Structure 1
Amino acid sequence: MTVKELSSSPSLSSLYPKAVLGGLRKSGGDILPDTEFVRSGVTVDPAHLAAYNQVCEFRLADTLPATYPHILAFPLQMALMTEPDFPFPLLGMVHVANRITQRRPIRVTEKFTLRVRAQHLRPHEKGKQFDVVSELLSELDPAGEPVWTDVSTYLRRGGASGQKRERRTELAPPAPKADWRVPGDIGRRYAEVSGDRNPIHLNPLTARMFGFRSAIAHGMWTKARCLAAFEGRLPDAYTVDVAFKLPVLLPAKVAFTSWADDGGWAFELWNARKPKPHLRGSITPE
């Protein structure tokens, strides 16, 4: 594996033009690059963390929400997926699932090393999918084991594999534990704290260019918002796993529900006006 050591966080303002230009090329084959991006000396800006917590409705605390390190890893993920040898253009890829494992509470004052790589390219009924794996290692853990791991699964549509599609039976949505109003500007607000300025999230005009009738909420915002609903009940070590279903068209009213499941929880986010799920997930103690 080729390791690329970075001395600073990649500039997202320069990576987005690369992503746009990359969208003009065809998909480039079936081989993911054998490359890992590594950045040491990563620290958390408490003011940025506070802004993130406010947007996602986490409480202010001296530990990180499990979804926050995804924000630290995002520039490295972008750098990896805009490299010339990456087989798929970034524009048009769909974030279909995300699994985060936190092995202990992570304090704001820690210093970290980040590692990001792509792996497990495989067929999908609608094209091909692969995982981008991000790991956070703390200088407080001399053994060098990750304290946090994030696996984001992406779908590249086209060239369907011919796999037989599983029949899914959609049930009526369960009685919600809470109804949330999602404001029309949440895409722009989350973009400010996450750096993810994909035009589908920013305003209706740019979203329509990609086939959406309005801007849509970031999938990782919906995951973070759901996780915030469990604050005060989460164990020190756990995995939170979600599958992203239908996008949340902004503004929106959504229904959140959760239930105990095998020592942890299962949860769903639904369109409050129609029986259609936006997200399904689980929280499992480690």
Structure 2
Amino acid sequence: MTREIVLEGPPDLRRIYATAALKRGADRDRLPELRVVRPGVSVDSDNLVRYARACGFTLTERLPLPYPHLLGFPLQMVVMSQRDFPLPLVGSVHVENVITVNTSLTLADSLEVAVHAENLRAHPKGRQVDLVTEVSTHGDVAWRGVSTYLARGAEHPDAEASEPPSLDGLEGVRSGPTWRFSAGTGRMFAGIGGDWNPIHVHPILAKPLGFPTAIAHGMYSYSRCVGALAPRLPGSGITSHVWFRKPIRLPSTVRLRTAFEDHRTLSLLEGVKGELDHAVLEHTWAGAGPGR
């Protein structure tokens, strides 16, 4: 039977991370039957403004495509910090994300945010799990995000791993926006999104977890990409899929290259010299284009 935790406000993520630093993950092969819900959520307009400015979105009454992830992320951490959760919270890496927007959400909407975990499975380099966030308004799921986290451990060479589409469509695409991510980028976005994972905050904290420097939040680099593409994307009826490849060490300079097709975009976020692939993005939709 599924247990439900109902939250009246946002959880304290700093305390969750501090507690989770001592937890290695339960020795089990199944996920807890748990659903964490926060009803009556109102978007903080000041936070939305900070997010839009940091990620390059034009402010409108409609929420930016990735923004509801920030509402669901704290609930994801509640699920992953449970004693019977099989993967460790600290040290797990966000490797993939799929967002489906059924209906555009607005700043005025009263939202219900719900999170559960599913699909615990082997990965060639360890184990992975999906954290599913559903954001509803008026009783209908308007926005759904599936965040895949990988915990490195015993290797499973025969396990399947999700791979991005072929990048052949990007051949010949040279120009695109370039961004400089400073040494403080992780702390900046943590202040907006609440993700104070040590790997993003300071190199001294990141090194024990296997990173020579702090690294940028995947959802920040992804949001920068979506912000640049937003004028060419519809507001609803769209699926946004990102595969996180090599982490962005801070500081770094990156660039975005995109191929545009009917009802599809394919993008690569890479080092400014093309030496590293940081993320692959694919957007797909049917019907009308921007403004829908």
Task: Give the TM-score normalised by the residue count of structure 1.
Answer: 0.91
Which residue identity lines up with residue 158 of structure 1 in the other structure? G
Instruction: Tell me what 2:211 maps to.
Output: 212
Which residue identity lines up with residue 245 of structure 2 in the other structure? K
Partner of residue 148 from structure 1, selected from 130, 143, 150: 143
Which residue identity lines up with residue 79 of structure 2 in the other structure? L
**Bigger shift: 210-219 or 124-133?**
210-219
Instruction: Tell me what 1:12 maps to.
Output: 13
Query: Partners in 1 of 2:157 and 2:226 — Cα distance?
Result: 35
Following superposition, the deviation at residue 212 of structure 1 comes to 2.0
Deviations 1:156-185 (A, max 9, x none): 111222316789999898523222222221
Residues 53-72 of structure 1: pairs in structure 2 closer than 5 A: 53-72=52-71
Aligned CA distance change for structure 1 residues 79 and 281 (closer, same or farther; 3 Å): same
Query: Partners in 1 of 2:69 and 2:25 — Cα distance?
Result: 28
Query: Partners in 2 of 1:26 and 1:43 — Cα distance?
Result: 33
Q: Which runs of 5+ in 2 are unaligned?
A: 287-292
Question: Identity of counterpart residues, as a percentage?
Answer: 37
Q: Which runs of 5+ in 1 are unaligned?
A: none
Residues 1-286 of structure 1: pairs in structure 2 closer than 5 A: 1-22=2-23, 25=24, 27-139=26-138, 144-163=139-158, 175-237=174-236, 238-261=238-261, 263-286=263-286
Contact kept, 8 Å, 2:135 with 2:142, in 1: the verdict is yes
Deviations 1:225-284 (A, max 9, x none): 000011222112211100000011111111210012452101110011243200001111
Deviations 1:144-203 (A, max 9, x none): 331000100011111222316789999898523222222221111100001101111112
Query: Partners in 2 of 1:279 and 1:202 — Cα distance?
Result: 20
Query: Partners in 1 of 2:7 and 2:61 — Cα distance?
Result: 27
Runs of 4+ in 1 over 3 A off after TM superposition: 164-174
Contact kept, 8 Å, 2:25 with 2:89, in 1: the verdict is no
Query: Partners in 2 of 1:126 and 1:262 — Cα distance?
Result: 36
Following superposition, the deviation at residue 30 of structure 1 comes to 0.8
Query: Partners in 2 of 1:111 and 1:277 — Cα distance?
Result: 38
**Bigger shift: 151-160 or 12-21?**
12-21
Contact kept, 8 Å, 2:123 with 2:159, in 1: the verdict is no
Task: Give the TM-score normalised by the residue count of structure 2.
Answer: 0.90
Question: How many correspondences in the alignment?
Answer: 280
Following superposition, the deviation at residue 136 of structure 1 comes to 0.2
Query: Partners in 1 of 2:260 and 2:157 — Cα distance?
Result: 37
Which residue identity lines up with residue 15 of structure 1 in the other structure? I
Contact kept, 8 Å, 1:177 with 1:257, in 2: the verdict is yes
